[in-house]
Structure formats: structure tokens, C-alpha cells
Amino acid sequence: MVVSYSGNRLGYVRHTVNPHSNGHCITSIYYLNQNWDIKVHGSLLPISPEDWPIATNIKTLLDGLLIFWPDQWNLHEVEPADATRYAITIWYFDAKEWTATKDKLSASIQKESMGVKSPISQEKKKFTPELKKKKT
């Protein structure tokens, strides 16, 4: 996926891509931000395990490559920036894990249609990324 984040202070809240063993095994992000200055343009990518008070801040600089497991040990967010930034993201999948999760989700949806609450849908809400906009 090639991404362009507008420079109007948009980002994503802290999240994980793989909260339920959904097949996402590895996330890789390649940054394409030429002449990027964190002090002028803003935007770091904080990454840390769930419930840790301190994060490692990754600079989103040109030719930077970040590779990580997208689980609860590597929650991350996209901080708002004051300039347009670019990245290429590639997710590597485990087909067996994806199929198993898809089958569980399908069964969960069927149960919810009958009025039974599913633990999968409750957990999904916890880790679904949302767009955020910070005040300037």
C-alpha cells in the first residue's frame, strides 16, 4: 500500500494491526519523505508494547525502513504532521492463520445476528485504529 498522509494534522491513534491472529505476520514501512525535519514538519511513529508508559519514537525519514510484528507487543500510532508525508507499507500474511480467523469471525457474525455477543467483536473495538486530528 502506498500512502500519502495530508499535512493537515491527521494521524492514527495507537493501535495494532493483528489483535486476533488475523494473518498479519510482519509489517514493513518504507518512508519516502525527502528533506523531512521532525522539528519543522512534526510526525514520529511511536511504537511500544501494550500498557507500557514509554514508546520508542521512529523518525519517518527518507529511506527509513521499519519492520515489526503487528501484535500487542508493537502498538503504534501515526502522529499528526504539518506537511504531507509518504510511505509504502507491506504486510506479510500467514494464509492458514487468516483462514482460521476468517472462519471464527464468520461464526461470530452469525451468532451476533441471533443476538449473542461475541468476544471477538468486543476485542476488535479495542484495537481498531481511528483517525485523529490534533489541535494546532
Q: Quick: pLDDT tens for 15-68.
A: 888 877 788 889 999 999 888 888 888 778 889 888 888 888 888 889 999 999
Q: What torsion do the CA atoms of 132, 134, 27, 15 make, to the nearest 10 degrees? A: -50
What are the cell numbers at 62?
527518507
- Written as one letter, the residue type at 23 is G
Q: What is the pLDDT of residue 134?
A: 53
Residue 127: band (very low, low, confident or very high) from pLDDT cuts 50, 70, 90: very low
- CA 67 from centroid of its chain's CA atoms: 12
- Please tell me the distance from the alpha carbon of residue 76 to that of residue 54, in angstroms, as a whole number: 12
Indicate whether 73 pLDDT > 70.
yes
CB distance 45 to 122 below 8 Å: no
Average pLDDT, the chain: 80
Q: What is the pLDDT of residue 32?
A: 92
Q: What is the pLDDT of residue 135?
A: 55
- Please tell me the distance from the alpha carbon of residue 80 to that of residue 12, in angstroms, as a whole number: 8
pTM above 0.75, yes or no: no
45-56: pLDDT as tens digits: 889 888 888 888
